[in-house]
Structure 1
Amino acid sequence: MKKVFCLLAFISTLHAQDWPRWRGPGSDGRWNPPNIPAVFAKKEPLQLWKAEIGAGFGGVTMSNGRVYVMDRLKAPTEVERVLCFDAESGQELWKHAWEVSYGGMDYATGPRTSVNITEGRAYALGATGVVVCLDATTGKVMWEVNTVETCGAKVPTWGFAASPVIDGDRVLLHVGAKEGSVIALNKSSGKEVWRGGPDRAGYCTPEIISHAGARQLIAWGPEHVQSLSPDTGSVNWIYPYKITYGVSIAQPLFQDGILLVSGYWHGAKAFRLGTGAELLWENETEICGLMSSPLFKDGVVYMLDKNRGLQAFELKTGKILWSDDNTLTPKDRNPQMSLVWMDESNNLAALLNASGELVYVTLTPEKREEQSRWQIIGKTWAHPAFAGNRVFARSDKELIAWQLW
Structure 2
Amino acid sequence: RFEDVVSGAGPRGTSTLASGRVYTMGSRALLTCLDEETGTVIWQRNLEKDVSAKVPQWAFSGSPLVLENLVIIFAGGSGDNGLLAVDSQTGQTVWTFSTAGESENYTTARFIRLADVDSLVFCDNQGVHALEPKSGSPLWNYKPGQWSNSMKMVDPQALDQTRLLVSLGDGVGLCCLQVQREDDKWNISETWTTTQLRPSFNDSLVLGDLIFGFNQNIFGCIDAKTGQRLWHGGRYGFGQ
TM-score, scaled relative to structure 2: 0.87
Whether the 8 Å CA contact 1:203–1:221 is kept in 2: the answer is: no
Inter-partner Cα distance in structure 1 for 2:98 and 2:191: 23
Whether the 8 Å CA contact 2:122–2:155 is kept in 1: the answer is: no
Whether the 8 Å CA contact 1:264–1:306 is kept in 2: the answer is: no
- Is 1:130 paired with 2:17? no
- Is 1:273 paired with 2:176? no
Structure 2 runs not aligned, ≥5 long: 181-185
- Is 1:299 paired with 2:202? no
Whether the 8 Å CA contact 2:23–2:33 is kept in 1: the answer is: yes
Match of 1:323 in 2: 232
Residue 312 of structure 1 is aligned with which of 206, 210, 221?
221
Cα offset, 1:312, TM superposition: 1.3
Output one character per residue of 1:80-105: Cα deviation in whole Å (capped at 9) or x when no partner. Answer: xxxxxxxxxxxxxxxxxxxx4x4889
- Is 1:211 paired with 2:114? yes
- Matched to 1:280, the amino acid is T
Inter-partner Cα distance in structure 1 for 2:64 and 2:7: 21
Residue 288 of structure 1 is aligned with which of 183, 198, 207?
198
Inter-partner Cα distance in structure 2 for 1:106 and 1:317: 36
- Matched to 1:132, the amino acid is T
Local SS of the residue matching 2:48 = helix
- Matched to 2:31, the amino acid is V
Cα offset, 1:210, TM superposition: 0.5
Cα offset, 1:242, TM superposition: 3.1
Flag the structure with higher helix content.
Answer: 1
Against the structure 1 CA distance between its residues 276 and 152, is the aligned structure 2 distance closer, same or farther, given a 3 Å change threshold?
farther
Against the structure 1 CA distance between its residues 273 and 105, is the aligned structure 2 distance closer, same or farther, given a 3 Å change threshold?
farther
Inter-partner Cα distance in structure 2 for 1:237 and 1:155: 28
Match of 2:88 in 1: 187
Inter-partner Cα distance in structure 2 for 1:267 and 1:159: 24
Whether the 8 Å CA contact 1:236–1:276 is kept in 2: the answer is: no
- Matched to 1:305, the amino acid is N
Match of 2:59 in 1: 159
Cα offset, 1:212, TM superposition: 2.0
Whether the 8 Å CA contact 1:301–1:314 is kept in 2: the answer is: yes
Structure 1 runs not aligned, ≥5 long: 1-99, 337-380, 382-405
Match of 1:255 in 2: 159
Inter-partner Cα distance in structure 1 for 2:8 and 2:198: 25
Whether the 8 Å CA contact 1:196–1:228 is kept in 2: the answer is: no
- Matched to 1:271, the amino acid is L
Match of 1:71 in 2: none
- Is 1:221 paired with 2:124? yes
Output one character per residue of 1:310-336: Cα deviation in whole Å (capped at 9) or x when no partner. Answer: 21111221111111232xxx3x3xx11
Against the structure 1 CA distance between its residues 187 and 177, is the aligned structure 2 distance closer, same or farther, given a 3 Å change threshold?
same
Whether the 8 Å CA contact 2:25–2:32 is kept in 1: the answer is: yes
Match of 1:145 in 2: 45
Inter-partner Cα distance in structure 1 for 2:170 and 2:188: 21
- Matched to 1:251, the amino acid is D
Cα offset, 1:106, TM superposition: 7.2
Match of 1:264 in 2: 170
- Matched to 2:211, the amino acid is V
Pairwise mapping of residues 79-94 of structure 1 onto structure 2 (< 5 A)?
Answer: none
Inter-partner Cα distance in structure 2 for 1:136 and 1:287: 38
RMSD: 2.0
Match of 1:232 in 2: 135
Identity of aligned residues (%): 26
Number of matched pairs:
227
Pairwise mapping of residues 292-371 of structure 1 onto structure 2 (< 5 A)?
Answer: 292-307=202-217, 309-326=218-235, 330=236, 332=237, 335-336=238-239
Inter-partner Cα distance in structure 1 for 2:157 and 2:61: 18
Inter-partner Cα distance in structure 2 for 1:279 and 1:105: 39
Against the structure 1 CA distance between its residues 294 and 103, is the aligned structure 2 distance closer, same or farther, given a 3 Å change threshold?
closer
Q: Which has the higher contact order (CA 8 A, sep 6+)?
A: 1
* 4+ residue segments displaced more than 6 Å: 103-106
Inter-partner Cα distance in structure 2 for 1:300 and 1:104: 36
Out of 146-155 and 196-205, give the one that drifted further: 196-205
Cα offset, 1:205, TM superposition: 1.2
Cα offset, 1:289, TM superposition: 0.8
Inter-partner Cα distance in structure 1 for 2:41 and 2:187: 41
Inter-partner Cα distance in structure 1 for 2:98 and 2:177: 19
